[in-house]
């Protein structure tokens, strides 16, 4: 049975492959050549598109590197990385990036505390509990969250969340890290939920059935089989979301303030790396000065952090890719 079926199949394929429309249409050599030229032009156009985006990336990195090298020829790397005061605009100038780094990390950690559990639970709900119709409504609504301009989030924090916080803790600063963390957390929930949901739904049905067959409840199937099996994808979504939180600019600039302040108190005003870059770009710092070049040093730091996070998420994905068969 099987061998005859196979020959039948290959003969069919051979037949359709041997008499396609091509020979009847391509009547002369000239036609063939025009086609080749067309192909080459299209190939060239597509290649230049790919090349432009790659070159732009390379260019950005080169500019960042060159300008930060100039900066580091004036300020020792060690001082930059370990200094606890950041005041490039006043004398004496101090170039310790730690207050900015701490600000970024505080917002990232705070938003992760909000977004990771909420996003994962949303993903579990969408993938395991919600019916088809409910998911059809909820998913687009969630994705709207990702489409709201970040400046709107910033004012939402400033005009709604901060007043709310002040009702509980009156001494909260007008600009504070907590409000920024909360809105950034809300902002990155769709990243976590949508990527995690993809990972959860990719877990084979057979694994769920195996667990149901042993008398597992839906909760047990979700938390003890599906989530562990999808862990690499879930983890990658976490890393991506956190790197988005670190890179987030507008909302934190508006909500968290512009005070480089090395603190662990989320109710105080702080400044993140991104917010600093905004303030210098918009300010009147003269070009060519060391104070101006801090832009590139801070930008470089930010770039290395997010690049590292992306590499980490790629590694996590490939390392655990074959978790299930």
Partner 1 sequence: MSTTYGITIGSDGPALEVRDVNVHYGSKQAIDGVSLTVPKKKVVALIGPSGCGKSTLLRCFNRMNDLVPSARVDGLIEFRGHDLYAPDVDPVEVRRRIGMVFQKPNPFPKSIYENVAFGPKINGFRGDLDELVETSLRQAALWDEVSDRLGDSAYALSGGQQQRLCIARTLAVKPELVLMDEPASALDPIATQKIEELIYELKEQYTIVIVTHNMQQAARISDYTAFLYMGKLIEYGPTDTIFTNPREERTEAYVTGRFG
CA nearest to 236, candidates 163, 316, 156, 140: 316
Angle, alpha carbons 110-195-218 (nearest 5°) = 95
Cα separation, 251 vs 181, in Å, equals 9
**Shortest Å, Cβ 128 to partner 1:** 11
CA nearest to 97, candidates 275, 309, 262: 262
When the beta carbons of 89 and 216 are compared against partner 1, the nearer one is: 216
List, in order, residues 6 or more apart from 169 with CB less than 8 Å away: 267
325 binds partner 1, rule: CB under 8 A: yes
Interface residue with partner 1 among 211, 252, 273, 305 (CB under 8 A) is: 211
133 binds partner 1, rule: CB under 8 A: no
318 binds partner 1, rule: CB under 8 A: no
131 binds partner 1, rule: CB under 8 A: yes
Question: What number of residues does the chain have?
Answer: 325
30 binds partner 1, rule: CB under 8 A: no
Handedness of CA 166, 159, 299, 294 (dihedral sign): negative
In 75-97, which residue ranges form alpha helices assigned H by DSSP? 77-82
206 binds partner 1, rule: CB under 8 A: yes
215 binds partner 1, rule: CB under 8 A: yes
212 binds partner 1, rule: CB under 8 A: yes
210 binds partner 1, rule: CB under 8 A: yes
Spacing of C-alpha 257 from chain mean position = 23
220 binds partner 1, rule: CB under 8 A: yes
Per-residue contact flags (x/-) with partner 1 for residues 73 to 112, judged by CB under 8 A: ----------------------------------------
Cα separation, 249 vs 150, in Å, equals 8
Burial of 77 (C-beta count, 10 Å sphere; 0-12/13-18/19+): exposed
209 binds partner 1, rule: CB under 8 A: yes
225 binds partner 1, rule: CB under 8 A: yes
Cα separation, 277 vs 246, in Å, equals 13
When the beta carbons of 40 and 321 are compared against partner 1, the nearer one is: 321
228 binds partner 1, rule: CB under 8 A: yes
The stretch among 77-85, 167-175, 285-293, 317-325 that binds partner 1 (CB under 8 A) is 317-325
Which residues bind to partner 1, rule: CB under 8 A? 131-132, 204, 206-217, 220, 224-225, 228-229, 322-325
């Amino acid at each position: 049975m099987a061998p005859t079926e196979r020959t039948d199949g290959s003969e069919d394929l051979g037949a359709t492959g041997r008499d396609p429309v091509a020979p009847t249409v391509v009547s002369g050599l000239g036609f063939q050549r025009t086609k080749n030229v067309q192909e080459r032009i299209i190939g060239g156009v597509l290649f230049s598109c790919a090349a432009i985006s790659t070159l732009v990336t390379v260019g950005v990195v080169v500019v960042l590197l060159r300008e930060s090298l100039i900066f580091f020829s004036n300020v020792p790397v060690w001082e930059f990385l370990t200094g606890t005061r950041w005041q490039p605009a006043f004398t004496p100038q101090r170039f310790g990036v730690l207050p900015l780094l701490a600000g970024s990390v505080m917002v990232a950690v705070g938003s992760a505390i909000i977004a990771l559990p909420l996003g994962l639970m949303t993903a579990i709900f969408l993938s395991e509990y919600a019916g088809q119709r409910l998911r059809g409504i909820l998913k687009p609504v969630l994705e709207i969250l990702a489409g709201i301009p970040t400046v709107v989030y910033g004012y939402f924090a400033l005009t709604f969340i901060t007043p709310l916080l002040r009702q509980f803790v009156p001494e909260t600063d007008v600009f504070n890290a907590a409000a920024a963390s909360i809105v950034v957390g809300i902002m990155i929930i769709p990243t976590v939920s949508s990527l995690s949901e993809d990972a959860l739904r990719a877990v084979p049905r057979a694994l769920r059935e195996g667990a149901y067959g042993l008398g597992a409840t839906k909760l047990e199937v979700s938390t003890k089989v599906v989530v562990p099996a999808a862990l690499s994808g879930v983890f990658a979504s976490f890393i991506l979301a956190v790197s988005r939180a670190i890179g987030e600019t507008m909302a934190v600039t508006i909500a968290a303030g512009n005070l480089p302040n090395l603190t662990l108190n989320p109710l105080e005003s702080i400044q993140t790396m991104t917010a600093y870059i905004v303030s210098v770009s918009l300010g009147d710092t003269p070009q060519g000065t060391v104070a101006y070049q801090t832009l590139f040093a801070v930008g470089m730091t930010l770039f290395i952090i997010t690049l590292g996070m992306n590499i980490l998420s790629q590694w996590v994905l490939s390392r655990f890719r074959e978790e299930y068969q």
